[in-house]
Structure 1
Amino acid sequence: MAPIHERIRQDLLIKERSLWTALTSADPGPEIEKLSNDEANLLFPKTPILTLDGEPSMKQMLKPPFHHFDAFQLSDVRVIIIDLMAGTVTYTINASRGKESYHATGSTTWSQASDGEWRIVTHTETLL
């Protein structure tokens, strides 16, 4: 594997962890907005497709206590490098809040913007 691919793989894993840290925080909206490309689509179980300017907007739907968990773990993590400026991370999610548990598969596709930052193109979760 080319060294550049390994760097992309590591960058995407760091970004995915940042996404989940934001998703499970007390107020995820502002950070998710910063991580998202202008055209981003987020697909959560039992929720309309969220976009920055859609109805309901990402900001409206991601306000507290959206996805607020005490702990989360990503397993079976795979990074697929699409090209030098795009990649997808897939995984299984196990999260908990008190005695409540959340089990799903997840996938996030990232693209690198002209400023060099990786941004979410689409994020999907499917309950198991």
Structure 2
Amino acid sequence: MQSKLILIIISIAMLPLSSFKNSPEHQKMVIEKKRDSISQGGPKGLIGKWVMDGDHNTYIELRSDGTIIEKSLGEPLKRYWLLKDSKLCLKANSIEGGTEMCLEYLLREDMLVITMNEMRLHYARAKE
């Protein structure tokens, strides 16, 4: 009888704690934390439009929602981006096979250098 009473008291005491975990404020905080780490991909300094040095028709636009618009030849391509192990990873959509390519990058204020196949690509932040 006494063990049932202790079990009931513990259950009642746990109820407020479990409701706090599922509160709208807690859920919003968890969702925002996930969005920041996945969608944003990393430093806010990467977000923006970057134009290739010497070729103003070639650019990448890293968006805060985790998408990237790449434009070089032809129509712009929409892909996804995030940071993994200090590398900038670009992922094609499922129609394009969903392949992922992770590249080394160096960010210095308004300059972004991406290394691809031992070739360094220099980009400057667009002044739009």
Q: TM-score normalized by structure 1?
A: 0.29
Q: Whose Rg is larger?
A: 2
Q: TM-score normalized by structure 2?
A: 0.29
| Larger relative helix fraction | 2
User: Structure with the greater relative contact order (CA < 8 A, sep ≥ 6): 1 or 2?
Assistant: 1
